[in-house]
Chain A
Amino acid sequence: MSSTTLAPPRSAVLRAAGLRHRPALLTLLTVMGAISLALLLHGWYLHNGLDATGAASCDPATEACLLKYKQFQRQYGDGLLALDTVVYVLGGAFGAFLGGPLLAREFEHGTVRFAWTQGAGRTRWTAGGLVVGGAVLAVVGALFGLLLRWWSEPLVIRAGGFSPDLFVQAPPVLVGRVLVAFGVAALAGAVLRRTVVAVGVGLAASVALPFLAHAVRSHYMTPLEESVHTLKSMALDDRWVLNVWFSDPAGNRISTGDFYSRGSDYTQLQSLVRDGGYTAHEVYQPANRFWPFQLIEFGWTTLLAVALCAAAVWWVRRRAF
């Protein structure tokens, strides 16, 4: 028997993996479709509200605009913040729901004994499933991210794109997060062989990741610093202010507590920085770093997800005997 090729081509393994995971992928698309429809309707309602109150078209630095926005919140913003929190915490969850059963259910149902004894072998089969699942998740995640970004525009107007809950809803970061949840759940499924536990581990990772990412996000690029002579926040752009420190007229750095002790109220402190030679130094990430930051975060989370999937394949290949 000639045996130059000992396994079917990779594309065939991917097609087989597509057939095997089709029911799960269709379920995912149905659920995400239903959620998207709800968000679409709610988003349409919110955008109508913005137009009706004029909160989106005014200069956000003006007092009048703030009032318009507050009116928008009173009229249309019921539950908006709660919903935003839910999206923040559970945004990556669907990755865990797809990744958890991917390998764990094969063990639970005993189907590994069929899948791993085919000519393609267990390594290609496992890798094929992860590639198909990951690719579909990436597309679904990107589309869902676009929808979320549009839906959360009313919040971005006020809080800025860098606010922790809104930053993770943009497509690149959301895709990375979903893939990490997928990879963690798949690896947990390979090791623990229990679907429910694997999904739980994936959910936990999906919830924890935004907090971890937020803790390191400000270090992606060296922040800029600007000296200002006012205490009023200047709503010039969507910059992400990390912190503010003060120096006295001689140019020496003084602690924030020290600075606040030199004036009895806001007006006095304001006059200190405006006329008294004191300087406020704003340390910030400029607004135009939003997309570079998105891509940096997408990059490392996706690499992490790929590493997790590779670990799952390694486990199946070396340890699952």
Chain B
Amino acid sequence: MARDTVIDCGGIGKRYRRSWALRDCHLAVPAGHVVALVGPNGAGKTTLLSLAAGLALPTEGAMTVLGDQLPGSPRALDRIGFVAQNAALYPGLPVRDLLAMGRHLNRRWDDGRARTHLEGLGIPLDRKYGRLSGGQQAQVSLALALAKRPELLLLDEPLAALDPLARHDFMAVLLTAVAEDGLSVVFSSHAVNELEQSCDYLVVLGGGQVQVAGEVDELLGGHRMLTGPTAEADAVADRLPVVRDRRAGAQCHLLVRTGGVDAPVSGGWRQQRVGLEELVLAYLREPTASALPGPRGAVRAFEANEKAVLS
């Protein structure tokens, strides 16, 4: 397996009793990115992160993290930071004790960084964790994870319970750490509208499988929204991979994958680039559509052959 991946899974599946949370899931996330993991509730986001953190074992298939490490192995635990959903920590312990626990439980520990982080935000170290606000609790969890100086940081819905200001503060700390340490981050999120400022790699999960995986710039450049006459829609849809097809009377809107160039369509069509939010929502609404590193080649081949016919 390539050493420059932070998460690499080939066809893994995870079953809880009778239902599959993940099934035949292929994903290779390269290192050095801030990866957003999005998908509807029950799409398998938490399961995927739990598997990567070593909290769960896949029912089928195998997964590696940070190149060739098995999730949950001592070497992987040492180098991966994990912030759980709702940032659950021991409510009865003061922040200082939580930091001490982290120091005792890890070989790599940067106590100064955690203290600077928390003092900078005015979080009192002698206050019990359970008496902090939601935003402060999230910051404490983040400080504990970052103090490990991880090479990979996994965050499960870190923003879900936070108000806008707390979200902003949280992402600011996170992105500063990324800039300083060059660590890779994978976080799951519902906040589709805030993704564009925070991530540069996107993974969309739907129904336990990976629907979209790719760098944000490439994904945005590789899609076009086509607006044109409904009468010609079927002809276009036959030749271009359509992600989403909306028809309203005489006019229709087609979100198509073009592979980085403008779509080869006639003058009756207007084409626009799309935003990340629009793109993600389109894929979430069409669970059968997918944009993976593989099929992109097929699109390019198609362009070369068909361009003359279309124009």
Contacts and interface: CB of A to CB of B under 8 A. Distances in A.
A321 B104 contact: no
Interface stretch (A7-15, A200-208, A299-307): A7-15
In the complex, which of the residues B80, B90, B144 has the most CB atoms of chain A within 10 Å of its own CB atom? B90
A121 B103 CA distance: 14
Contacts of A30: none
Contacts of A116: 54-55
B133 interface: no
Contacts of A15: 100, 104
Contact of A23 (B55, B93, B104): B93
Given A8-B107, A109-B88, A117-B77, A20 B57 contact: no
A297 B90 CA distance: 37
A6 B105 CA distance: 11
Given A15-B104, A19-B100, A119 B90 contact: no
A22 B94 CA distance: 11
A16 interface: yes
A3 B75 contact: yes
In the complex, which of the residues B80, B81, B84 has the most CB atoms of chain A within 10 Å of its own CB atom? B84
B86 A119 contact: no
A125 B101 CA distance: 11
A6 B78 contact: yes
A114 B144 contact: yes
B86 A118 contact: no
Nearest to A110: B88
Given A113-B84, A118-B102, A7 B107 contact: yes
A111 B90 CA distance: 7
A120 interface: yes
B47 to A, nearest CB: 11
A243 interface: no
Given A113-B82, A117-B54, A117-B80, A6 B74 contact: yes
Interface in B100-154: 100-108, 141, 144, 148
A5 interface: yes
Interface string B30-66: 0000000000000000000010011111000000000
A253 B268 CA distance: 117
Given A7-B74, A114-B144, A109 B90 contact: yes
A140 to B, nearest CB: 20
B77 A119 contact: yes
A32 interface: no
Interface in A45-102: none
A244 interface: no
Nearest to A117: B82
Contacts of A147: none
B89 interface: yes
A112 interface: yes
Contacts of B82: 113-114, 117
Nearest to B97: A19
A113 B53 contact: yes
Contact of B90 (A20, A117, A120, A125): A20
B22 to A, nearest CB: 14
B10 interface: no
Given A6-B107, A16-B100, A111 B54 contact: no
Contact of A121 (B74, B97, B100, B108): B74
A125 to B, nearest CB: 7
A115 B90 CA distance: 10
Interface in A172-218: none
A284 to B, nearest CB: 52
A15 B74 CA distance: 19
Interface in A115-138: 115-121, 125
B104 A13 contact: yes
A245 B53 CA distance: 69
Contacts of B90: 20, 109, 111
A119 B106 contact: yes
A119 B107 contact: yes
Contact of B53 (A8, A20, A109, A117): A117
A22 B96 CA distance: 14
Contact of A8 (B50, B57, B104): B104
B293 interface: no
B106 A8 contact: yes
A19 B77 contact: no
B91 interface: yes
A201 B132 CA distance: 34
A115 B93 CA distance: 14
Interface of A: 3, 5-8, 12-13, 15-16, 19-20, 22-23, 109-121, 125, 321
**Which 7 residue pairs of A and B lie closest in terms of their CB atoms, listed nearest first?**
A113-B84, A16-B104, A110-B88, A118-B105, A6-B74, A119-B106, A117-B82
17 contacts: A7-B74, A13-B105, A16-B100, A16-B101, A16-B104, A16-B105, A111-B89, A113-B88, A114-B82, A116-B55, A117-B53, A117-B80, A117-B81, A117-B82, A119-B77, A119-B106, A121-B77
Given A6-B107, A119-B106, 8 more contacts: A7-B78, A8-B105, A8-B107, A15-B104, A19-B97, A109-B88, A118-B105, A121-B72
Interface of B: 50, 53-57, 72, 74-75, 77-78, 80-82, 84-86, 88-93, 97, 100-108, 141, 144, 148, 156
